[in-house]
Amino acid sequence: MKPLLEVKELSVDFYKHGNAINVIDKVNLRINSGEIVCMIGESGSGKTITSLSIMRLIDFNSGKITHGDIELSGVSLVTLTKQEISVLRGKKIAMIFQEPMSALDPVFTIGDQIVEVLIRHTNLTKPAAREQAITLLQRVGIPEPEVRMKQYPYELSGGMRQRAMIAIALACEPELLIADEPTTALDVTIQAQILNLLKEIRDEFNMSILFITHDLGIAAEIADRIVVMYAGKVIEQAAVHELFEQPFHPYTSGLLQSVVTMDSDRTEKLFTINGSIPSLSELPTGCRFHPRCAYATDRCRSEEPELVSQSGREAACWNIEKLLHEPQQQVEPKRIIAADRAIAASFEHEQKQRLPLLEVRAIKKYFSIEQGLFKQNKKLIHAVDDVSFQIGKGETFGLVGESGCGKSTLGRVLLQLEQATSGQVLFEGKDVLRAPAGEWKSSRRDIQFVFQDPYGSINPRWKVGDIIGEPLWVHESLKGQAKRQKVVEVMELVGLNPAAYDRLPHEFSGGQRQRISIARAIALKPKFIVADEAVSALDVSVQSQIVNLMQELQGQLDLSYLFIAHGLNIVRHISDRIGVMYLGKLVEIATTDELFAHPAHHYTKALLAAIPLPDPTRRKTFLPLQGEMPSPANPPTGCRFHTRCTAATDLCKKIEPALQRIGPGHLAACHYPA
């Protein structure tokens, strides 16, 4: 059977200042009708460039296809003119981009953008196109589609924007849908909804999907076949079950071992792939992976392996036989034992024996928004509403919940980056919210922040040494050689080469920039760090490196962390205790093992159920959590989760449950704890 899409020996160059850089090198790829193919690999491996080349969108970004062909239903896309390919885009082939807010036009309503596609590629009249657009929004699970048609992208949540993008992509029922990291920025609950939706669409329309991701859990959940890319080349491809059972390439094996799962041993360091992906302008000779490969030989360093077929699959490696004959570690699913309760009780006793480093008491943070022509109407957004917890010395407290639940706002309030509406934050017994300016500056050196986007939180025009050394200059008046010596010590501590002291942030990878942010945070040897989604945007291999680094620094410097994230597997690995937030409130607190073994709140259960498993033999058939989180400007009465909870009763709708003890070290705010 001839494939729907066939990419043959595709090579792509980008031109900068008249110089050509090869970014894709002889890529071969095929997708059959109704098949979902996942393309995986670290950032910089060439996944997105390959997808943009298939869409011929590189033509608008200094890119050029220099060799090979792309055939869709037997038609060569490479030879088409820009006008001819524009006719096919949206009709025969469509794309869902990673960031819908950037891909959607902010000055047109959602309805106008769908109608535009329908009118351009079909014979529908404008009224008929509007009716079809409403049907499409309903089909992708957007509530009140008639209302959403009139709204602009900024008025929708992240999940709804992504659904709107899918509706636009499906408007003309294309044969091939390309989804470029469509769930990376989404919470696990919304991610589960999108994955279910894509599988339903594939089954309904017999549509082929090229799904690009760096999350192997998602690949295991959705893929029929997997293509692995590294430094611009395809290095392995196989059916999903074959690849997870036995990878043929050391890089694939490393990616699989880097994945943090529900079964991972929390007492062990995470596996990491040494080094980082090479720059496409400075590629190594021979196999491109050999500088990071434990199996590398002289032949690997001098001669590049070709992608060859073996046992019905393909891999580009000189050492396949050696990899196949090494025993593979088998990870047994975690067994929940009665001792979990005893561990929780022991932890609670230990907590009582030591004074908390940080104590949060009834913190509230409300934002006021003005409405109306003369701004006469005011509404309050209940971002954080009566939250209390404490963190002990040397402890990591994980904070999880969907976007918009108030996690980041709470973290910013603790450091006074946002002014609390009411409540107390006690640090070593002193209320930092009411401390005099001079006293707060003294305390500020002991409380630091690591932001989600390191590039957005550091000055891009400053050298790395100045970025890391700024706190030393502000708090200790260090300058010149004294400051440089201290900064070098900190750089070595976080695994940065001191020779990079005078380089600028843009010269570093994402993982290295996060190390710069961590170095800046620990320069003054603080006691407490808020890490806000510090690893969420990183590849699995880099994620593991940063988590290991944070745990090593915690042991060396006796640090305490508030670790904010929506990646529950990572939170499980690094945290001693976990708090679950929903719509501004803490709904559950427990030790990590207790929370994952015996979740009490129905929201916590829904979050855990939505985690994709990196094992295609254990694909889930659950129904993901339905609906969107209500607006914090108008929270529901009673339990705030009752609008999405399958166990809700009239009591839940009327009376708000208090956060109360249900076991040793375990608190939950639920009338009917599981």
User: Are 144 and 138 spatial neighbours (Cβ–Cβ below 8 Å)?
Assistant: no
Two structure tokens written together for 341 = 């309760």
Both tokens assigned to 480 = 């010149």
The contacts of residue 61 (CB under 8 Å, 6+ apart) are: 14, 52
Q: What would the pLDDT profile of 191-203 be if each residue is shown by its tens digit?
A: 888 888 889 889 9
Kindly indicate the confidence band of residue 338, based on its pLDDT and cuts at 50, 70 and 90.
Answer: very low
- For residues 305 and 60, the model is more confident at 305
pLDDT of residue 60: 84
pLDDT range class, residue 622, cuts 50, 70, 90: low
Does 146 score more than 50 pLDDT? yes
Query: What CATH number did the domain enclosing 249 receive?
Result: 3.40.50.300
Which secondary structure element, helix H or strand E, spans residue 29, and what is its range?
strand 19-31
Pair 180, 163 in one domain:
no
- Do residues 565 and 417 both lie within one domain? yes
Reported as a single tens digit per residue, the pLDDT across 279-297 is: 888 899 999 999 999 999 9
Residue 349 has pLDDT above 60, yes or no: no
| Same structural domain, 82 and 163 | no
The reply to whether 530 and 653 lie within a common domain is yes
Could you tell me if 220 and 615 are in contact, meaning their C-beta atoms sit under 8 angstroms apart? Answer: yes
* Percent of the chain as helix, strand, coil, to the nearest 5: 40, 25, 40
Q: What pLDDT does 341 receive?
A: 47
Q: Residues 657-668: pLDDT tens digits?
A: 999 999 999 999
The answer on 150 and 68 residing in a single domain is no
pLDDT bin (cut points 50, 70, 90) of residue 190 is confident
Q: 355 vs 45, which has greater pLDDT? A: 45
* 194 in a structural domain: yes
Q: Same domain for 277 and 314?
A: yes
3-state secondary structure of 275: coil
**Average pLDDT of every residue of the chain:** 88
- Residue ending a domain, choose from 168, 193, 210: 168
pLDDT at 156: 83
pLDDT score, position 651: 96
Query: By mean pLDDT, which of 264-268, 284-288, 386-390, 526-530 is the weakest?
Result: 264-268
Weakest-pLDDT range from 46-50, 156-160, 272-276, 670-674: 156-160
pLDDT tier at 327 (50, 70, 90 boundaries)?
low
Would you say residue 372 has pLDDT above 60? no
Examine the pLDDT at 458 and tell me if it is beyond 90. Answer: no
For every residue of 355-367, DSSP letters joined together read -EEEEEEEEEEEE
CA distances from residue 384 to 362, 364, 415, 420, 423 in whole angstroms, order as listed: 10, 5, 15, 9, 11
Provide the residue range defining the domain that includes 291.
5-92+174-325
Burial 251-284 (b: 16+ CB within 10 A, else e): bbbbbbbbbbbeebeeeeebbbbeebbbebeeee
Q: Tell whether the model's pLDDT for residue 511 goes beyond 80.
A: no
Q: Assess whether 277 and 291 both reside in one domain.
A: yes
- Name residue 528's beta-bridge partners: 447, 560
**Which tops the pLDDT comparison, 425 or 276?**
425
Q: How confident is the model at residue 103 (pLDDT cuts 50, 70, 90)?
A: confident
pLDDT range class, residue 526, cuts 50, 70, 90: very high
**Residue 1: is its pLDDT beyond 90?**
no
**Span of 231-240, 530-539, 643-652 with lowest mean pLDDT:** 530-539
Q: Which pairs from 331-337 meet CB under 8 Å and 24+ separation?
A: 331/261, 331/263, 331/264, 332/263, 333/262, 333/263, 334/262, 334/263, 336/597, 336/598
What's the number of domains the chain is made of?
Answer: 3
Per-residue model confidence (pLDDT) at position 143? 79
Within a domain: 590: yes
Regarding whether 206 and 308 lie in a shared domain, the answer is yes
Say if residue 115 is in the same domain as residue 211. no
Q: What is the pTM assigned to this prediction?
A: 0.85
232 and 156 share a domain?
Answer: no
What proportion of the chain, given as a percentage, has pLDDT over 90? 55
